[in-house]
Amino acid sequence: MWCRRLACLFKVPCRLRGSTRHCSPWLPRDRRSVLAAVARRYHTAPGSLKCAWQLHGDHLELRYANTLMRFDFVWLRDHCRSASCYNTKTNQRSLDTASVDLGIKPKAVRVDETTLFLTWPDGHVTRYGLEWLVKNSYEGQKQQVMHPRILWNAEIYRQAQVPSVDCRSFLETDEGLKEFLQNFLLYGIAFVENVTPTKEDTEILAERISLIRETIYGRMWYFTSDFSRGDTAYTKLALDRHTDTTYFQEPCGIQVFHCLKHEGTGGRTLLVDGFYAAEQVLRQAPDQFELLSKVPLKHEYVENVGDCHNHMIGVGPVLNVYPWNNELYLIRYNNYDRAVINTVPYDVVHRWYTAHRTLTAELRRPENELWVKLKPGKALFVDNWRVLHGREAFTGYRQLCGCYLTRDDVLNTARLLGLQA
């Protein structure tokens, strides 16, 4: 039991600092003895009952802002932000972590209302803001999300009435760029209107937020139904929902589509929020969600068409989550390019197929399908780590251009504009 809670329970207007001598004398003796016993175990910050701490054999236990945190002593020494340990100009560690004694313990500990002070055996003093510790502790991180998102099906997205951003505003103003990136981060898709329908202008658009990621498909690509590459996408056939480049060790982060011309019918683009579908699986069958996040699969792309000869293999689970908070950050779903399943024993395979079927059923629900008609002048940016795309079959001549963007650069641009990414 913590001192603060006992103080509230007994309505004690006192500070507990290792004894009961500061407590009001009117307390019954048995209650004072209970508080005294607890106080010998825990310490509170002078002038405040918002913080309490206790030293253990290998870690410090700290309660602050309704969060119970545990810090390894080596961690506390390693993350010291003093001038000799951390370079604030470069935001890099100066301390040689390998030089820290793995059995180190603080010689003294002190806490005031805002700061934790630790004195080490060599006399070095480390200071931590309590708010910084809450934010950067494992326990604090478990309560936070890395990437705030709005999960959607078709109706949710339509009701949100997410606006497109005008090309000129996107290219020439930080406000337009920030609005676009906020939409993209929240929904995983975003549109730019009034783009000149050329490959060159689409390239300028893409470079506004990121370096273009050159792949086996080149830097900027034209997309027609001439089967110039060994991929179903280069046909007029319908494409089921999928994410791209699952056969890369790190799938491409963002994909840009711009329809330059279409003289025919059909060809609507299908968009499905993979994270929304995965959330339904997590709610209905958490064991299946866990299996999809643990079983590694191979995806493969083999191409021998004309001068193009490639053999790509990527490995990873369908669902990728941060282990500390179970937050989903990547879905790798492509039934076209999934290779032979030979990475798990037979008794796991059938359970995996069952889990995969559950996820597929969610991804194929009509209410989760957002259909859009791409037209010249309207560019679409898709988060390839989250939103699956596909298309209906089409007739006539249809030409798209586009590219892949490096995810790190897009998120970097967003953070520099003050967005959480």
* Average confidence score pLDDT of the chain: 89
Which of 142, 168, 195 is the last residue before a domain boundary?
Answer: 142
| Domains contained in the chain, number | 2
Determine the pLDDT at residue 146.
93
pLDDT, tens digit, for every residue of 154-211? 999 999 999 999 999 999 999 999 999 999 999 999 999 999 999 999 999 999 999 9
**pTM here?**
0.84
Given a contact cutoff of 8 angstroms between Cβ atoms, the answer to whether 140 and 134 are in contact is yes
Same domain, yes or no: 228 and 332:
yes
Same domain, yes or no: 192 and 249:
yes
Determine the pLDDT at residue 2.
42
2: in domain: no
135: in domain: yes
352: in domain: yes
Determine the pLDDT at residue 10.
31
**CB neighbour class for 130 (10 Å; exposed up to 12, middle 13-18, buried from 19):** buried
Same domain, yes or no: 125 and 247:
no
* Domain ranges, residue 368: 154-416
Same domain, yes or no: 183 and 304:
yes
Q: What is the DSSP secondary-structure string of 374-416?
A: --TT-EEEEETTTEEEEE--B-SEEEEEEEEE-HHHHHHHHHH
12: in domain: no
Same domain, yes or no: 126 and 177:
no
Same domain, yes or no: 348 and 379:
yes
Same domain, yes or no: 169 and 276:
yes
Which of 142, 174, 193 is the last residue before a domain boundary?
Answer: 142
**The pair of three-digit structure tokens given for residue 380, joined into one six-digit string:** 């679409």
- pLDDT mean by block of 10 residues, the chain; 421 residues: 35 32 35 44 62 95 95 98 97 97 97 96 98 96 94 98 98 98 98 97 97 94 64 77 96 97 92 98 98 97 91 97 96 96 95 98 98 96 98 91 96 97 94
Domain with residue 226: its CATH number is 3.60.130.10
Same domain, yes or no: 168 and 84:
no
